[in-house]
Structure 1
Amino acid sequence: MTTILIKNANLFYAKHLNKSDLLIKDGKIFKIAEVINEQADRVIDAKNNLVAPGLIDVHVHFREPGQVHKETIATGSRAAAHGGFTTVFAMPNVTPVPDNSDDFKNQLELNKQSVIKTLQYAPVTKEETTDELSPIEDLAKLGAIAFSNDGHGINNAKTMFDAMQRIKAVNSHLAAHVEDQNLFNKGVINAGPAAVELGLPAIERVSETSQLARDLILAKETGVHYHVCHLSTADGVKMIQIAKNAGINVTCEVTPHHLLLSDNNIVEDDANFKMNPPLRSELDRRALIDGLLDGTIDMIATDHAPHAESEKNQGFLKSAFGITGIETSFPLMYSRFVKTSLMSLEQLLELMTIKPAQTFGLSAGEIKIGANADLTIIDLNKNYQIKKEDFISKGVNSPFLGQDVYGQVQKTFVNGREVYSI
């Protein structure tokens, strides 16, 4: 394999930013120093741009098999590389759901099309919607990164309790979409002024928090690592904080859209603002920010959920839930949080690299000697507008279209191989 020398990097290394050169040999980081003058097959001048570990997203939907009109593993992984991501966790709500060994093996084969590292969730239950547990032990042996029924809450407490016990026994992780479907009550928007103004069926906050309260008690009893997907409520933040202080093995993620938008931003029947969980109140949004800053919330994840345009242009009542997000996550967070001094660049990078890797036991997320050369080069000074024609994803369903941001990914490398270049 060729050797690559990256010169003049603003390197995120040992949790700090350092002016350094970096040498890649045989796909791994071989040397880091202030100046490296060794011969290399390729020399890249980083021009003092940020060189960071490849970003990690523990929550994406790549839609293949069965829903390839929305996204494919090829387009989704290339979009991820465009966003600076080198490792993602793909949710199992595809068709068929990989809830048995044969379908799971097939999913792993399909994932080989990915230009980045696509790790695979297995479903907790058959079809993700039943109370029959998947063959958890078999799927763990095949390499499931964790277990999730994302898109569906597990309404039966005994089903969740049994699942937690078995997932704990194989030393894996349970990533929960917390939603009591009875309280969700076929809603399409958060219960609040926007729902009233638009005359739309509402989703109560308790659909999230009531199930979260139950699950935290079950997690305490079983000891399983319980990870909360896309937390969206102020009460949820408080409950996670209490649970962590009580020693419960719980972590959680938050999406950029729940940090940056509230239902105050919904001023018309535009389904680009329709997602599950929904955009909550401004009070909830501010609580999520506080939870991220004080460490209650462990990481940022996109919940990248691409759909065809025809599935998102029918208004709130008829359109699908979800937005595309993997290509806009870093620039939005950098522009709205770092450039406004809400957090440091180092904090943001830790939330998008080190924390997800540590939480799920990955040997990734950090630049260090001997590590795989999973890297991204980002021009933090580049100002540009988010446009759907620039997306690599098939999904262009984003409420952030037209917004100006900073932080353009220039190159992305996986194991020292360039998988994206502007």
Structure 2
Amino acid sequence: MIFANAVCCDHKQHTKMCLKVQDGVIVEMSSDLAQMSDVDSHQVIDVDSKLLMPSFIDCNVYPKGRTLSRKSLTSLSQKALRGGYGTILLLPDTMPVIDSEAIVELVKSVDKDLEVHILPSLKPTFYDESKLKLTDISKLYGNGARGIYLQSDIEGNLILRIAQYAKMLKTPLICFAQNTSLAQGVLNEGAFAAKLGLPTIHHKSQSIEVAKICEMLLHQDVEVLFSAIGLPRCIEIIQSYKQQGLKAHTEVSLHHLILNENICDDYNTAGKINPPLPSESVRQELLESLRNGHIDVLTSLQCADFNSQKDQVFELASFGIDSIAYGFALAYDRLFKPYNLDLSLLSRLCSYNPAQILGLEGGSLEVGKKADFMIIDLAGRTRIEDSFSPYRGAELESKVVMMYRDSQLYEID
């Protein structure tokens, strides 16, 4: 199959190209269809100057209501496909928790029937008679789990033991850094929360945990992805430790770069996510970190919940957002186009870097690489109808029209 007249864009190129795929692998790329070998024996799809990019990879995803079932994973896969995601990493604190071989097998068995590849990460701890203990990390990894999900505020000795497993298995730590004793509220500490009279999350609840994990992992030869960073100070700390040799990556959600806390005015629960949305001044600082290359990965922060859980008073409503179905369009329309950012940067943050961290084959457009890409009509439109979305009613520029992965071409209506 040949995709002709495409504008191919990945982390290091943005140019018009023809691309030949065979047995799920990119076998030839050329600027001129006439110069490609054996054209007559292949189906030719005229992309008509649409954008062709590696499929996105999201390292921070939950199924609806954090409920793990065939139905929830199938629905999640369908949404991800529409948003341009070819692979998603499922975080393990679901119901049931991904902490046993049987649950890893459940995810893998469902994954075989889905359009999008769903990888289970593993939870390394469990409670036994009120005592926190390690799961059989090696067995879970050997059974197909990818990445060890670490919550930062557990006992230090356990963190070091988990890091030893990550080093031995050569798998990354996915770390959500938050001090739960300082994070009992629903909005960031500040004037906005005070105006609404809502309980707050201390401004150091994330930074002190980031600093602790960085110090503990320094010189441990372990790779760590800091999940859903929401404050510039955390990025500064991570950058400092990177310069000292820590193999660390900073993940930030699209929403923290696009929205500010004012979306929660009038107690609008659509904007209630964790970590909470920043003030406008902090959002601008996060944008500057993006421009400076200090953000490594972007996430949709997909954590949908049932409407009944969002349609409550602000304090009781669930954290979360349903946004993976419009991931590319949101990034393009609200972030990369208005701030004149290069789409090659978007591909690096949403495809190449996540693929490198997770050890996946995709993430770029190169001969010999796995063919896993999307085709986008930048003149198309993606409309958001979700009544509990902070983007409700928005009509975003661009639309994912095709996805190619695992030797299958999916047309998206």
TM-score, normalised to structure 1's length? 0.91
Structure 2 CA distance for partners of 1:367 and 1:137, relative to 1, 3 Å: same
1:18-37 Cα shifts (integer Å, max 9, x gaps): 21222222222222222335
Deviates more, 1:30-39 or 1:171-180: 30-39
Match of 2:210 in 1: 212
Match of 1:162 in 2: 161
Structure 1 residue aligned with 2:13, among 12, 16, 32?
A: 16
Alignment of 1:219-368 (within 5 A): 219-368=217-366
SS of equivalent residue, structure 1 residue 380: strand
Instruction: Write the distance in 2 (CA, Å) between the matches of 1:357 and 1:238.
Output: 24
Instruction: Write the distance in 2 (CA, Å) between the matches of 1:354 and 1:238.
Output: 23
1:322-354 Cα shifts (integer Å, max 9, x gaps): 101212222122123332244111211221111
* Paired residue type of 1:82: R
1:76-107 Cα shifts (integer Å, max 9, x gaps): 11111101111111111222212122332233
Structure 2 CA distance for partners of 1:14 and 1:259, relative to 1, 3 Å: closer
Structure 2 CA distance for partners of 1:337 and 1:65, relative to 1, 3 Å: closer
1:42-88 Cα shifts (integer Å, max 9, x gaps): 4322110101111111111125984559x711111111110111111
Shift of 1:365: 0.5
Is the CA contact (8 Å cut-off) linking 1:192 and 1:263 kept in structure 2? no
Shift of 1:384: 4.4
Match of 1:74 in 2: 74
Q: Which runs of 5+ in 2 are unaligned?
A: none
Alignment of 1:126-165 (within 5 A): 126=126, 131-149=132-150, 152-165=151-164
Alignment of 1:405-420 (within 5 A): 405-420=396-411
Instruction: Write the distance in 1 (CA, Å) between the matches of 2:41 and 2:124.
Output: 47
1:128-182 Cα shifts (integer Å, max 9, x gaps): 9963122111112112210114xx5433222222211222222111111111111
Whether 2:110 is the aligned partner of 1:110: answer: yes
Shift of 1:371: 2.1
Instruction: Write the distance in 1 (CA, Å) between the matches of 2:52 and 2:10.
Output: 9
Is the CA contact (8 Å cut-off) linking 1:234 and 1:283 kept in structure 2? no
TM-score, normalised to structure 2's length? 0.92
Is the CA contact (8 Å cut-off) linking 2:260 and 2:277 kept in structure 1? yes
Match of 1:30 in 2: 27
Deviates more, 1:267-276 or 1:127-136: 127-136
Size of the aligned set, in residue pairs, is 408
Deviates more, 1:244-253 or 1:128-137: 128-137
Instruction: Write the distance in 1 (CA, Å) between the matches of 2:225 and 2:337.
Output: 29
Deviates more, 1:294-303 or 1:74-83: 294-303
SS of equivalent residue, structure 1 residue 327: helix
Instruction: Write the distance in 2 (CA, Å) between the matches of 1:228 and 1:13.
Output: 24
Is the CA contact (8 Å cut-off) linking 1:230 and 1:254 kept in structure 2? yes
Match of 1:400 in 2: 391
Is the CA contact (8 Å cut-off) linking 2:66 and 2:303 kept in structure 1? no
Instruction: Write the distance in 2 (CA, Å) between the matches of 1:414 and 1:64.
Output: 27
Is the CA contact (8 Å cut-off) linking 2:98 and 2:120 kept in structure 1? no
Instruction: Write the distance in 2 (CA, Å) between the matches of 1:78 and 1:130.
Output: 39
RMSD in angstroms over aligned alpha carbons? 2.2
Structure 2 CA distance for partners of 1:64 and 1:182, relative to 1, 3 Å: closer
* Paired residue type of 2:26: I
Is the CA contact (8 Å cut-off) linking 2:11 and 2:347 kept in structure 1? no
Shift of 1:310: 0.9
Is the CA contact (8 Å cut-off) linking 1:73 and 1:113 kept in structure 2? no
Instruction: Write the distance in 1 (CA, Å) between the matches of 2:338 and 2:137.
Output: 45
Deviates more, 1:114-123 or 1:228-237: 114-123
Instruction: Write the distance in 2 (CA, Å) between the matches of 1:84 and 1:27.
Output: 18
Match of 2:62 in 1: 61
Is the CA contact (8 Å cut-off) linking 1:10 and 1:48 kept in structure 2? yes
Percentage of matched positions with identical amino acids: 26
Match of 2:192 in 1: 194
1:305-334 Cα shifts (integer Å, max 9, x gaps): 111111111132111111012122221221
Match of 1:421 in 2: 412
Instruction: Write the distance in 1 (CA, Å) between the matches of 2:127 and 2:104.
Output: 13
Is the CA contact (8 Å cut-off) linking 1:116 and 1:419 kept in structure 2? no
